[in-house]
Amino acid sequence: MPFSRFKRGYKNIKRLRQIINILIKYGFEYYVEQLGLMNLITKGGKIFKPKYSKIDQVPIPVRARLALEELGPTFVKLGQILSTRADIIPLEYIKELEKLQDKVPPFSYVQVEQMVQKSLGANVSELFYSFEEKPFAAASLGQVHKAILKVDKVKVVVKVQRPDIEEIIETDLDILFHLARLIEKYIPVSRLYDPVGVAEEFARIIRMELDYGTEGRNAERFRKNFKEDKTVYIPKVYWELSSKRILTMEYIEGIKINHLKELDEAGYDRKKIAENGAKAFMKQMLIDGFFHADPHPGNILVMENELIGFVDFGMIGKIDEETREKYVDLFMAILEHDSNKILTRMLNLGITSKGEIDTRSLKRDIADLLDQYYDKALNEIKLGAFISQLVQISVKHHIKMPAELALLGKSLLIIEGIGLTLDPDFNLTETAKPYVKDIILERKSPQRLLLKLSNDLSEFYNLMVLIPKQLSNTLRKMEEGIFKLELQHRGLENLINALDKATNRLSYSLILVAIIIGSSLIMQTEKGPQFMGFPVIGVIGFLISGILGLGLVIMILRSGKM
């Protein structure tokens, strides 16, 4: 066990150095210095600083994307997930991060066979009637092969995880957590966006994507949710041929939803396709609270009779019932063009800020946003664009938005874009209205009101029972002298570091003064070995004090603060 920890630590340091060199290569040396990591690339006391004459001319968002691509699969995934976080990432970065591609060549068929044997306990030939050696899709985490089952000769797709990818990602996650903690420590403004929290959320998402069983369960849940819907098709999961690293699903044939020429040649009604797709998404968002968070055209197929087929269920958004109702309230406030209500609904969504919110300025920005839609009819409001702009306003005012709202806004934008491509008269707001109306009517039903009243009374009763007990425990601890009050400081790290440096310099100076005084006293004794008529110990003392004094002067000059 100690050896394995040592081995992992060595690999982490080696990988961290590689990451630092790539960051410097793309012009992010300032941030490396801010985090105190320049010492990791020192050699013989000299810092290696590669010079790239043209890199400074490249826009920073482009440099960030190029760096992430060169850093490999984990960081490409990080960039792709961050591109959905308009609540913490500026728009110009999001547009660039959306271009991130998994530039990873497919792994060999021999390795595919080994993964199948290891995960499913049998050879490919024993499990499948046929299995295409060449993958038809490859990404950073795995690749997909077409196959045919032995039973009923059903066409399937088999997703096979890349060998050793889990170990690579865990190493990178260790480093990401280390970097996130350093960012919080040395870059105070970053704390508003909770870098460690973002790293934890990313780790949770990518570990879920590594478990193909999770993706299979997501597909099963979608299949159950749309069981009675005749306009949507979700492929079947073959669990007997699936595991944590292998996922076998039904192969569905269709035309990609943005291949307009093929759709027209097949005689499909584009208007109906747009309507079916939008209704499917509204159901996911407002009724099920479980939506496809990566609805790009490659993941949506059009089948016979304008049937919408969804594929790839690795990235999923979840909204609980209470939050869904708050989104509906926000949606209604948007439709009413009421800036006061929009502000109130935003705060009701649980938006938090570490500082005071300038509500007056925030309300003015919301009013300015509404003015853009003042003379427009309801069917001209672009819901996805509006929510994305609302998220950007919150970023401007340093307000922390719920992550799922930014993800939802991006998904709405994609759906709106696809709908408008299919049908120039498409409007997502009109599609959403019936669902919103049903939710509002359901809220006012006697059964729902009685249930809410019952829950509220139950919570009130529990609170009344709990308060006296907690108060009694607190008073007892105070009487026994074991009551403890914890205080946490925030934003004082720079002051503490400055005080530490000042204390160290003061101690250094006192030692220096002591050596000088001691050497002066020895020089007056004229005892012991002599050098040019002076005591040797006194001469050595003055030499040491001279060197230490020179060192102190150099430190002060290098700090730039006299």
**Range in 319-323, 435-439, 519-523 with the lowest mean pLDDT:** 519-523
Helices (H) and strands (E) in the chain, counts: 21, 15
Q: What is the pLDDT of residue 156?
A: 97
Beta strands in 59-210 (DSSP E): 128-131, 137-138, 142-149, 155-161
* C-alpha–C-alpha distance, residues 28 and 12, integer Å: 20
Q: Are strands 530-531 and 534-535 parallel, antiparallel or unpaired?
A: antiparallel
pLDDT tens track for 74-125: 898 888 888 877 777 888 888 898 888 766 789 999 999 999 999 999 999 9
pLDDT at 322 > cutoff 60: yes
Catalytic residue among 87, 172, 294, 365: 294
Helices 2-25 + 60-71 axis angle, to 10: 150
More confident position, 277 or 450:
277
* C-alpha–C-alpha distance, residues 394 and 417, integer Å: 24
420, 373 Cβ separation under 8 angstroms: no
84, 407 Cβ separation under 8 angstroms: yes
Rounded average pLDDT over 465-476: 70
* C-alpha–C-alpha distance, residues 475 and 154, integer Å: 70
Q: What is the pLDDT of residue 6?
A: 42
* C-alpha–C-alpha distance, residues 520 and 88, integer Å: 62
What is the Cα gyration radius of the chain?
32
DSSP-derived secondary structure letter, 39: G
Instruction: Provide the percentage of residues in the chain whose pLDDT is more than 70.
Output: 77
Helices 165-186 + 73-82 axis angle, to 10: 60
Q: How confident is the model at residue 486 (pLDDT cuts 50, 70, 90)?
A: low
pLDDT at 208 > cutoff 60: yes
Q: What is the pLDDT of residue 45?
A: 37
pLDDT at 309 > cutoff 90: yes
CA 460 → CA 423, 447, 554, distances in Å?
51, 20, 67
550 forms bridges with which residues in the sheet? none
Q: How confident is the model at residue 483 (pLDDT cuts 50, 70, 90)?
A: low
pLDDT tens track for 343-396: 888 877 765 554 567 778 888 888 888 887 766 665 566 777 788 788 778 777
Q: What is the pLDDT of residue 154?
A: 95
pLDDT at 282 > cutoff 50: yes
* C-alpha–C-alpha distance, residues 558 and 125, integer Å: 69
**Range in 35-39, 60-64, 346-350 with the lowest mean pLDDT:** 346-350
More confident position, 316 or 334:
316
Instruction: Provide the percentage of residues in the chain whose pLDDT is more than 90.
Output: 32
* C-alpha–C-alpha distance, residues 318 and 341, integer Å: 25
Query: Of 77, 76, 94, 95, whose CA–CA distance to 85 is shortest?
Result: 94
Q: What is the pLDDT of residue 1?
A: 43
Q: What is the pLDDT of residue 334?
A: 79
Q: What is the pLDDT of residue 527?
A: 67
pLDDT tens track for 215-251: 999 999 999 999 999 999 999 999 999 999 999 999 9
More confident position, 252 or 350:
252
Q: Are strands 232-233 and 307-310 parallel, antiparallel or unpaired?
A: parallel
Q: What is the pLDDT of residue 555?
A: 66
pLDDT at 406 > cutoff 90: no
Helices 195-210 + 212-225 axis angle, to 10: 80
161 forms bridges with which residues in the sheet? 142
Tokens of 511: 């030692």
- State yes or no: is 294 an active-site residue: yes
Q: How confident is the model at residue 463 (pLDDT cuts 50, 70, 90)?
A: low
Long-range pairs for 228-234: beta carbons < 8 A, 24 or more residues apart: 229/280, 229/283, 230/307, 231/276, 231/279, 231/280, 231/306, 231/307, 231/308, 232/276, 232/280, 232/307, 232/308, 232/309, 232/310, 233/303, 233/307, 233/308, 233/309, 233/310, 234/309, 234/310
Q: What is the pLDDT of residue 324?
A: 81
Residue with tokens 């021999």: 110
pLDDT, the chain, mean: 81
209, 141 Cβ separation under 8 angstroms: yes
SS3 234: coil
Q: What is the pTM of this model?
A: 0.71
Rounded average pLDDT over 500-507: 68
DSSP-derived secondary structure letter, 122: S
113, 246 Cβ separation under 8 angstroms: no
**Range in 6-15, 313-322, 514-523 with the lowest mean pLDDT:** 6-15
Q: How confident is the model at residue 13 (pLDDT cuts 50, 70, 90)?
A: confident
163, 3 Cβ separation under 8 angstroms: no
Query: Of 417, 437, 85, 84, whose CA–CA distance to 278 is shortest?
Result: 417
Q: What is the pLDDT of residue 114?
A: 95
Q: What is the pLDDT of residue 108?
A: 95
pLDDT tens track for 407-443: 888 888 889 889 989 998 888 888 887 877 777 776 6
**Residues whose CB is less than 8 angstroms from the CB of residue 31 and which lie 6 or more positions away in sequence, other chains included:** 23
Distance of CA 440 to the CA centre of its chain: 33
Q: How confident is the model at residue 47 (pLDDT cuts 50, 70, 90)?
A: very low
pLDDT tens track for 163-199: 989 999 999 999 999 999 999 888 887 877 788 888 9
396, 365 Cβ separation under 8 angstroms: yes
